[in-house]
Structure formats: C-alpha cells, structure tokens
Amino acid sequence: MGVPLWMYLTVAAALFSIGMYGVLARRNAVAVLMGIELMLNAVNLNLVAFWRYLTPFNMSGQAFAAFVLVVAAAEVAVGLAIIIAVYRNRQSVEVEDVDMLKG
C-alpha cells in the first residue's frame, strides 16, 4: 500500500481541471470534445480509486467506470458526427460560430 488515496485524488482533480479548461477555453470543437474525455477519465480515476481504497468488496465502482467508458465512447461518436455535420454546413468547427440555439 505505497501510494495513498489522496494522490490519486489529486491527479484526478488535476486531470478534471485540465479537461474543464479545455472545454471552456478551447474554440475548436474537437478540442472541447477531448476536454470532455479528460473530465470523464478523471471521474473514472476517482471511481476506481475510491473502490480500491474504501469498498474493495463491492464492485460498484468498477461497474460505474465501465459504464462511463461506454458512454464516453458513444458520446465521442455522436459528438464527432455532429461536429462533422456542422462543419459540412458551416465550413467551421469553431464552437463560437455555432450559436443557432440563441434565444
């Protein structure tokens, strides 16, 4: 038991923050998508770490992580499809250019 729990958490938090920064600050939609992936993986890291340290006999943490992976894959697929569609229409993948839902 060398590495303590807080280290994992710290790494995950850093990862989440980087991902969030990417989502909020990057203008390229693909980069935003990548940021989201980072955030999801940070969550996965937390889930796995908490499972291992707190409830090693209950598999729910692992199961959640597996679900998140599946969802992330689907999301990337859909997200990329949308981005391609937008690109085809607008010749752009800049997030700021896509404001059709403005009220």
Cβ atoms < 10 Å from Cβ of 102: 4
Does 102 interact with other proteins (rule: CB under 8 A)? yes
Among 12, 15, 32, 93, interactor with other proteins by CB under 8 A: 32
Among 18, 20, 31, 48, interactor with other proteins by CB under 8 A: 20
Count residues binding other proteins (CB under 8 A).
13
Dist CA 46 CA 16 (whole Å): 10
CB burial string 22-39: b at 16+ within 10 A, e below: bbeebeebeebbbbbbbb
Among 23, 42, 43, 72, interactor with other proteins by CB under 8 A: 23
Q: Which positions touch other proteins (CB under 8 A)?
A: 20, 23-25, 32, 95-96, 98-103
